């Protein structure tokens, strides 16, 4: 009986740990690349910098808008292991859905982007 309870507790702990690792704030888990420039109740504005070939860790963003300050050539890997090449030109603006990813600058130049994370509004009572 004790072995069964211990096994269940171990599985629950592993699953909870995996969920916590998947839901990570990029500023907390990768301060080298992510800096908060502004934050209020509605948005958080991040400045993102990656050197050539630099890679982040898996992290989350809410729905966001990205403003590319430099040309970008990057690969974004999602928790399911799928990778997508994402290219953007300086001055381009893109809507980004909420989700988790692990980005890597695959270009030979530094890349810089401003990410405006949209905070959900509380439901009216």
Tell me the pTM: 0.78
Structural domain boundaries enclosing 83: 2-118
Report d(CA 108, CA 115) in Å as an integer.
22
Flag whether 123 is in a domain. Answer: no
Flag whether 124 is in a domain. Answer: no
Q: CA dihedral in degrees (88, 92, 95, 101; nearest 10)?
A: 30
Flag whether 67 is in a domain. Answer: yes
Q: Give the chain's domain count.
A: 1
Flag whether 125 is in a domain. Answer: no
Flag whether 109 is in a domain. Answer: yes
What's the CATH number where 29 sits? Answer: 2.60.120.10
Report d(CA 17, CA 5) in Å as an integer.
18
List CB contacts of 24: < 8 A, sequence separation 6 or more: 57, 58, 59, 60
Report d(CA 100, CA 23) in Å as an integer.
7
pLDDT tens profile 31-87: 999 999 999 999 999 999 999 999 999 999 999 999 999 999 999 999 999 999 999
In the chain, the N- to C-terminal Cα span, in Å, equals: 47
pLDDT tens profile 107-116: 999 999 999 9
């Amino acid at each position: 009986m004790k072995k069964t309870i211990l096994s269940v507790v171990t599985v629950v702990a592993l699953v909870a740990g995996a969920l916590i690792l998947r839901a990570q704030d990029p500023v907390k888990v990768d301060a080298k690349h992510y800096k908060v420039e502004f934050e209020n109740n509605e948005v958080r504005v991040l400045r993102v910098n990656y050197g050539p070939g630099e890679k982040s860790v898996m992290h989350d963003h809410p729905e966001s808008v990205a403003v590319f300050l430099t040309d970008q050539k990057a690969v974004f890997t999602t928790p399911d292991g799928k990778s997508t090449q994402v290219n953007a030109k300086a001055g381009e603006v893109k809507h980004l859905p909420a989700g988790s990813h692990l980005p890597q600058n695959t270009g030979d130049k530094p890349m810089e982007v401003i990410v405006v994370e949209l905070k959900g509004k509380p439901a009216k009572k």
